[in-house]
Each structure stands twice: as structure tokens, then as C-alpha cells.
């Protein structure tokens, strides 16, 4: 299958390209400057020239706090670009797998969020990703919107790598205990996205690391797996205030008959540590 991966230079896109190539697909990897997805005409023309059977859109504005100060840019990338890509796919009969986020939910539940739950994003990042979902669903029948959560991997900035770096610089760190989610290793999600590109079922899907934990528990697990001696102090989101509000509980579950099933998040942490060693400069 000829597969287009957008946002290919990013943390998730890098893994999707690698997974698709391992599976024997003909892969086109796009990122800036190959095509500016916020330019509708350029996007349509480029997709027409390539004629992919399917597209996995990993391009996104992912700076959650930055989006609060620059929602217009986040909207252009997370919503406008997704809509442009969906309309381009519709013009040639291609399928689109759109990556979205747990931050479309407000965190008010205390059991896993399923695909049909009401969305109510708390901040600009979640709003713009939701608008992207809406544009994709409106423009293209053959789509799969895959919401994931707390993504980490060796090819981009992420919470786990940041905490490992801080452990080298400090004797102790403070991490919030009252935000709970589903940590997801990009290397585990990527082949699932490629599989979604090959499937025919449409709509919204949830795909995240199995299980749940707080940021505090995720840090403890990462330090234990890495053999790090840094002390981890519990704190709260109120004490560790950040520009963008985060949902207190954004664990993802699924009501799908054939859900996306990923390994436990703890396995993801260990796979991440192995991957970091593999990409480290020699």
C-alpha cells in the first residue's frame, strides 16, 4: 500500500514511518518543507500528485501550554491543516487516520473515557484538536480518528525523557499525583496506526497504553526501570500551576468491538529506555 505519513519528522511520525516500512508498505514521509498542510491548495495538489491509498496524519501543534498564548496558530495546524488533508483525501478516495488526544475530555469522570463520551476540552490544545476531529469527520467518510494520551518516545520532547534528564541534574523532583492518564509509547502506537490505515471501519477510536497511573507514578516507574536514585516528591496540580489546565482523569478505554489494544504502559517505559540507548550518540 502506498502510505503517506505527515508530521514524519516528529516523535510519533518517525515511528509510524519505521513501522510502515517494516510492514512492507511504500511510504512517503512528509514534514515541513515538503508540504505546508495549512495551505489548502498546496496540500490538495501534493496529495493528488502522490495518490496515496491512505494517510496517517501525525502533524500537530503539541505545545499544550504554548497553545494558550497562541491558539490561532494551534488552530491552523491542529484543525485547519487536518481539514485540508481530509478534503484532499476525499478528492482522490484515500483513507485518513487522524491522531487526536485525551485532552478533548474535561477529566470529570473516574472511569475510563470511551469513544461516545461527551467531549468538553478544558484548554486551547484540546479545543483545536477537537476542531480537527470535526473537520475530518465532516469532510471525509473514510476516516479513523485515533485519540491517544501521554505520548512518549525517543525522537522528540516528552515527559518521560524530561524526567530522566532532570534526574541527572537534581537530587529530587516534585511531580503531581492528582492527574491520571494512560501513558503511551510511540513505538507501540505506531503499528496500530498503520493497521488502522489498512482497516475499513470508520469513526473515533481510543488507542493508549493499557492501564493507568499519575504523573508521579509514571516518574517512579521510569526511575526504577532506569536505576535512577533521584528522589520523587508528591505535589498537586494546584501547587504546580501551569498555563494550560489539564484534565484530572483522562484514562482512555474503548467500547469498540475490535478496539486498538496496546501493551501496558509499564512495558512502554522499558521499551522507551531501550530505544533511547539505541539512538544515543556513540
CATH of the domain at 107: 3.40.50.720
Q: State the first-to-last Cα distance of the chain, in angstroms, to the nearest integer.
A: 35
Note the pLDDT of residue 33: 87
- Within a domain: residue 241? no
Would you say residue 235 lies in a domain?
no
What SS3 string covers the chain? CEEEEECCCCHHHHHHHHHHHHCCCEEEEECCCCCCCCCHHHHHHHHHHHCCCEEEECCCCCCHHHHHHCHHHHHHHHHHHHHHHHHHHHHHCCEEEEEEEHHHCCCCCCCCECCCCCCCCCCHHHHHHHHHHHHHHHHCCCEEEEEECCEECCCCCCHHHHHHHHHHHCCEEEEECCCEECCEEHHHHHHHHHHHHHCCCCEEEECCCECCEEHHHHHHHHHHHHCCCCEEEEECCCCCCCCCCCCCECCECCCCCCCCCCCEHHHHHHHHHHHHHHHCCC
Count of structural domains within the chain? 1
pLDDT score, position 282: 67
The pTM (predicted TM-score) of the whole model is 0.96
Return the pLDDT at 210.
98
In a domain, 146, yes or no: yes
CA 171 centroid distance within chain: 31
Asked, for residue 234, whether it belongs to a domain, the answer is no
Which residues form the domain of 102?
Answer: 2-158+183-210+250-263
Distance CA 116, CA 23 (A): 31
Instruction: For residue 271, tell me if it sits in a domain.
Output: no
pLDDT at 198: 97
Residue 226, in any domain of the structure: no
- 119-123 long-range Cβ contacts below 8 angstroms, 24+ apart: 122/244, 122/245, 122/246, 122/247, 123/64, 123/67, 123/68, 123/244, 123/245, 123/246
Catalytic site residue from 61, 103, 125, 249:
125
101 C-beta neighbours (distance < 10 Å), count: 26
Residue 62 covered by a domain: yes
Q: Let me know if 125 is a catalytic residue.
A: yes
Asked if residue 94 belongs to a domain, the reply is yes
Per residue of the chain (282 residues), give pLDDT as tens: 999 999 999 999 999 999 999 999 999 999 988 889 999 999 999 999 999 999 999 999 999 999 999 999 999 999 999 999 999 999 999 999 999 999 999 999 999 999 999 999 999 999 999 999 999 999 999 999 999 999 999 999 999 999 999 999 999 999 999 999 999 999 999 999 999 999 999 999 999 999 999 999 999 999 999 999 999 999 999 888 888 999 999 999 999 999 999 999 999 999 999 999 998 776
Amino acid at each position: 500500500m502506498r502510505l503517506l505519513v505527515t508530521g514524519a519528522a516528529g516523535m510519533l511520525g518517525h515511528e509510524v514511518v519505521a513501522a510502515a516500512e517494516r510492514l512492507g508498505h511504500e511510504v512517503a514521509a512528509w514534514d515541513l518543507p515538503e508540504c505546508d498542510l495549512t495551505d489548502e491548495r498546496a496540500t490538495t495538489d501534493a496529495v493528488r500528485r502522490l495518490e496515496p491509498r491512505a494517510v496517517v496524519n501525525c502533524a500537530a501543534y503539541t505545545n499544550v501550554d504554548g497553545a494558550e498564548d497562541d491558539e490561532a496558530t494551534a488552530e491552523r495546524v491542529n484543525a485547519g491543516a487536518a481539514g485540508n488533508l481530509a478534503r484532499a483525501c476525499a478528492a482522490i478516495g484515500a483513507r485518513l487516520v487522524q491522531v487526536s488526544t485525551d485532552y478533548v475530555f474535561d477529566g470529570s469522570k473516574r472511569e475510563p473515557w470511551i469513544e461516545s463520551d461527551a467531549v468538553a476540552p478544558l484548554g486551547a490544545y484540546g479545543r483545536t484538536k477537537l476542531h480537527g476531529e470535526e473537520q475530518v469527520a465532516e469532510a471525509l467518510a473514510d476516516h479513523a480518528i485515533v485519540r491517544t494520551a501521554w505520548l512518549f518516545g525517543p525522537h522528540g520532547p516528552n515527559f518521560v525523557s524530561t524526567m530522566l534528564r532532570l534526574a541527572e541534574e537534581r537530587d529530587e523532583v516534585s511531580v503531581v499525583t492528582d492527574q491520571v492518564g494512560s501513558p503511551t509509547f510511540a513505538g507501540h502506537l505506531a503499528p496500530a496506526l498503520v493497521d488502522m490505515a489498512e482497516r475499513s471501519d470508520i469513526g473515533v477510536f481510543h488507542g493508549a497504553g493499557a492501564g493507568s497511573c499519575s504523573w508521579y507514578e509514571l516518574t517512579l516507574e521510569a526511575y526504577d526501570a532506569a536505576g535512577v536514585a533521584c528522589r520523587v516528591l508528591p505535589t498537586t496540580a494546584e501547587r504546580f500551576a501551569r498555563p494550560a489546565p489539564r484534565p484530572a482523569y483522562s484514562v482512555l478505554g474503548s467500547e469498540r468491538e475490535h478496539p486498538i489494544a496496546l501493551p501496558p504502559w509499564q512495558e512502554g517505559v522499558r521499551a522507551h529506555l531501550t530505544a533511547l540507548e539505541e539512538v544515543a550518540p556513540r
